[in-house]
Structure formats: structure tokens, C-alpha cells
């Protein structure tokens, strides 16, 4: 009933007409650095894009906007309060912590996100890191480029241990869409898959064994994080948990940076408590210069690109457009603060 009332209220309050509504995108560059377009959004209204928006310019750039789209630019209570015409906030990502939901809800402004657009891309990135850590393709290719193969007395050489995945144990924390997609890839490699979720899944895919965290950390050869960041799991992977892992284990994080205590991870890698780490997210992004993980052995960091295939970004833009269209038509979808709106 609450959602039905909300839809009626939106339809009655906002007489939108295609081509007249002003839409401002505060940070369009990461979703579309120029290889895609905003044509479908431009068909819905007057669109103004900014590659990036510093905090001090948010209110000025979105001053007349009825619809504001943001990826990582923060819309806090102060900025929301300054936007007199604001009717809708669309987050160009799955996570929506950049928006003050309480402030938006107090204004009656729905906030939407983009669910499930990056699932195959992120699962692919997980195994890009896994294969990098087990096959050392880049290191071997560079050694060949430097002449090591040409100087080799044998028909082949390797300069790091090569690890076969079949028969190893792949641990997953978080069995959402990306966790399940990653589990399917692990199974395709012939790995045993164990998983932990904050609550038992309604349906468990074939070939996945649910276990407690202690057993998962102790048994996995590869641990991949796929859970959302909450107050309860901040630094879920900490010094104590790292000591539970096998010295040969690998840690992969494509979820949220603060799930890992990165200072503890750096020490664990230096001390040989685990064998390696592949990280696509960090506690602070971008991480500071001189971060201890930069010099940690067998730690490989990519700059939060797991989501960023062109196909995934195209899906993101398509869903964002559908979210805006649904709102204009009085039937908002993917609203993350629906229970706070009255």
C-alpha cells in the first residue's frame, strides 16, 4: 500500500512533459568516457552533463535541475536542501551511500539505483585476478620480452609456481547475483565451492556447500568477497581472519574495499600468512600514495574496473534511462528509499 500511495503522489505532484524536464549528470565520465552516448536520456528531457563535479559546485550545477544523476559525487543533506526544483535522484551505480537518503526522503525525493548491471563483468574480473595469481601470465610474458626464453637452455621455463585450479577449494562470502555467477565459473574450473551468506539463501545452486566463516577461512584455497558493506562486516577480513587462512591461499576482493583491513593484509603478505591478493577495490579510492599494499609481495591492485566493460556500462545507462522514464511516467522503479517516503 505504501508503494502504491507513493506512485499516486508522484504522478499527481510532478506534471512532467518530455523535452522540458531538466536532467543534470554530475559525473558522467566514468560511465561514459565518450565511447557511448546519452541519446535515450536526451529524448526524455534537457540533459546537461559534467565529466566531474567538485563538492563545492554541486549546488550550482544542479540548481535548476528536477532530475539529478550521480555516480560517486556526494549529495549530502546540505546540497539536497539547496536544490529547490529537485524531484528525483538517480545513482549511476548499485551502491547508493553517496546520497543522504534521510534528507532526500524528507523532501519526498525518490532515490534509485542500478541493480545487477555488472554481474558478468565483475565475475570475469575475479578470475582475471585468480588466473593472474596462479599462472603469472604477465610476469612470464615480460620475462620473454626481456630475453629470458631466448637465453634458456631448455624448450621452456617458469619463474614462479604454476597452480592448477581443478580440485582446489573456492570460498565465497556473499551469494548474491555476482557471488553466484562467480561460483558457476569456479565450478567450471572443477573447483569445490564453499560459501557463507549472512542469511541462508532461499535456493542454493547445485554444487555449493554452505559453511560457517571459520570453516570457510580455514579451508579455502581462494577466497572471493561478494558481500555488501555494512556496519557489521567492516574489516571482515582482519588480522585474526588472515591467520586462519592457509599460507598458500589467495584473497580476491571485487566487492567493497573496507571489507578488508588493508594494513593487516599488507602485514600478512609480508609475513607469508597468505600467498597473494588480487584487489579491484580499496578502502579509500583512489588509495593514498605510499600505501603499504603497493610494496606488499604478490599483491596486485586494479583501479576499480571490474564493472567497467563497455557492455556493462551500456546496461547501466539503459537501466538509468528506464529508471528516469518510469519516474516521469509516475511508476518509479528501483527506488531504494521507498519505505521512507510518505
Q: Kindly state the average pLDDT of the residues 17-25.
A: 79
Other Cβ atoms closer than 10 A to 242: 23
Q: Kindly state the average pLDDT of the residues 167-171.
A: 98
Cα-based distances in Å from 210 to 15, 22, 126, 199: 50, 49, 20, 10
- Please report the pLDDT score of residue 13 as a whole number: 45
Nearest alpha carbon to residue 170 among 179, 161, 183, 159: 183
**Residue of 226, 241, 256, 315 marked active site:** 256
pLDDT at 11 over 50: no
Q: In this predicted model, what pLDDT tens digit does every residue of 251-305 receive, in sequence order? A: 999 999 999 999 999 999 999 999 999 999 999 999 999 999 999 999 999 999 9
The phi-psi region of residue 192 (left if phi > 0; otherwise alpha if psi is between -120 and 50; otherwise beta) is beta
- Please report the pLDDT score of residue 5 as a whole number: 34
Q: In this predicted model, what pLDDT tens digit does every residue of 95-138 receive, in sequence order? A: 899 999 999 999 999 999 999 999 999 999 999 999 999 999 99
**Residue of 82, 270, 285, 331 marked active site:** 285
pLDDT band at 200 (very low <50, low <70, confident <90, very high): confident
Give yes or no: 285 in active site. Answer: yes
**Exposed (0-12), middle (13-18) or buried (19+): which is 231, by Cβ within 10 Å?**
exposed
Residue with cell 511516467: 329
Other Cβ atoms closer than 10 A to 226: 27
- Please report the pLDDT score of residue 16 as a whole number: 54
CA atoms within 13 A on the CB side of 118: 23
Residue 32 CA to residue 317 CA, distance in Å, equals: 9
Q: What percent of the chain is modeled with pLDDT above 70? A: 94
Nearest alpha carbon to residue 33 among 316, 313, 319, 323: 313
Residue 59 CA to residue 78 CA, distance in Å, equals: 9
CA triplet 252, 70, 59: central angle to 5 degrees?
Answer: 135
Look up residue 156 and give its DSSP letter.
-
Give yes or no: 304 in active site. Answer: yes
Residue with cell 563497455: 310
Residue 96 contacts residue 340 (beta carbons within 8 Å): no
pLDDT at 231 over 70: yes
CA 196, distance to chain mean position in Å, is 19
Q: Kindly state the average pLDDT of the residues 233-244.
A: 97
What is the grid cell recorded at 16?
Answer: 512532467
- Please report the pLDDT score of residue 20 as a whole number: 82
Q: In this predicted model, what pLDDT tens digit does every residue of 69-98 receive, in sequence order? A: 999 999 999 999 999 999 999 999 998 999
- Structural domains in the chain plus CATH codes: 2-117+310-340 (3.40.50.720), 119-301 (3.40.50.720)
**Exposed (0-12), middle (13-18) or buried (19+): which is 167, by Cβ within 10 Å?**
exposed
- Please report the pLDDT score of residue 203 as a whole number: 86
Peptide bond into 82 cis (omega under 30): no
Residue 24 CA to residue 39 CA, distance in Å, equals: 14
Q: What percent of the chain is modeled with pLDDT above 90? A: 89
The overall average pLDDT reported for the chain is 93
CA 250, distance to chain mean position in Å, is 20
Number of H helices, E strands in the chain: 12, 12
pLDDT band at 12 (very low <50, low <70, confident <90, very high): very low
Residue with cell 517516503: 341
Give yes or no: 181 in active site. Answer: no
Residue 318 CA to residue 40 CA, distance in Å, equals: 8
- Please report the pLDDT score of residue 1 as a whole number: 31
Look up residue 37 and give its DSSP letter.
-
Residue 292 contacts residue 320 (beta carbons within 8 Å): no
Report the sign of the C-alpha dihedral through residues 202, 205, 207, 208, in that order.
Answer: negative
What is the gyration radius of the CA atoms in the chain, in angstroms?
A: 23
- Please report the pLDDT score of residue 199 as a whole number: 87
What is the grid cell recorded at 151?
Answer: 637465453
Q: In this predicted model, what pLDDT tens digit does every residue of 31-69 receive, in sequence order? A: 999 999 999 999 999 999 999 999 999 999 999 999 999
- Please report the pLDDT score of residue 342 as a whole number: 65
pLDDT at 241 over 80: yes
**Residue of 241, 304, 313, 315 marked active site:** 304
- Please report the pLDDT score of residue 205 as a whole number: 86
Amino acid at each position: 500500500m505504501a508503494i502504491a500511495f507513493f506512485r499516486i503522489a508522484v504522478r499527481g505532484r510532478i506534471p512532467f512533459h518530455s523535452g522540458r524536464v531538466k536532467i543534470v549528470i554530475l559525473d558522467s565520465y566514468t560511465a561514459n568516457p565518450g565511447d557511448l552516448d546519452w541519446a535515450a536520456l536526451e529524448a526524455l528531457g534537457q540533459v546537461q552533463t559534467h565529466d566531474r563535479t567538485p563538492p563545492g559546485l554541486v549546488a550550482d550545477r544542479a540548481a535548476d535541475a528536477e532530475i539529478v544523476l550521480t555516480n560517486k559525487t556526494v549529495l549530502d543533506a546540505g546540497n539536497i536542501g539547496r536544490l529547490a526544483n529537485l524531484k528525483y535522484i538517480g545513482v549511476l551505480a548499485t551502491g547508493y551511500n553517496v546520497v543522504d537518503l534521510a534528507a532526500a526522503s524528507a523532501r519526498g525525493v525518490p532515490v534509485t539505483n542500478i541493480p545487477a548491471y555488472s554481474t558478468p563483468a565483475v565475475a570475469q574480473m575475479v578470475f582475471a585476478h585468480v588466473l593472474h595469481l596462479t599462472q603469472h601470465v604477465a610476469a612470464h610474458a615480460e620475462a620473454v620480452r626481456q630475453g629470458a626464453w631466448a637465453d634458456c637452455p631448455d624448450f621452456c621455463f617458469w619463474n614462479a609456481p604454476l597452480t592448477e585450479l581443478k580440485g582446489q577449494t573456492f570460498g565465497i562470502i556473499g551469494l548474491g547475483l555476482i557471488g553466484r555467477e562467480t561460483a558457476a565459473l569456479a565450478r567450471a574450473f572443477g573447483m569445490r565451492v564453499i560459501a557463507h551468506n549472512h542469511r541462508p539463501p532461499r535456493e542454493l545452486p547445485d554444487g555449493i556447500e554452505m559453511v560457517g566463516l571459520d570453516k570457510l577461512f580455514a579451508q579455502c584455497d581462494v577466497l572471493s568477497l561478494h558481500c555488501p558493506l555494512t556496519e557489521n562486516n567492516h574489516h571482515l577480513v582482519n588480522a585474526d581472519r588472515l591467520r586462519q587462512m592457509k599460507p598458500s591461499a589467495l584473497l580476491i576482493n571485487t566487492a567493497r574495499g573496507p571489507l578488508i583491513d588493508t594494513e593487516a593484509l599488507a602485514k600478512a603478505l609480508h609475513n607469508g600468512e597468505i600467498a597473494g591478493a588480487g584487489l579491484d577495490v580499496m578502502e579509500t579510492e583512489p588509495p593514498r600514495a605510499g600505501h603499504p599494499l603497493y610494496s606488499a609481495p604478490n599483491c596486485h591492485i586494479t583501479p576499480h574496473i571490474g564493472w567497467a566493460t563497455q557492455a556493462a556500462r551500456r546496461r547501466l545507462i539503459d537501466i538509468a534511462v528506464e529508471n528516469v522514464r518510469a519516474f516521469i511516467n509516475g511508476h518509479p522503479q528501483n527506488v531504494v528509499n521507498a519505505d521512507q517516503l510518505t
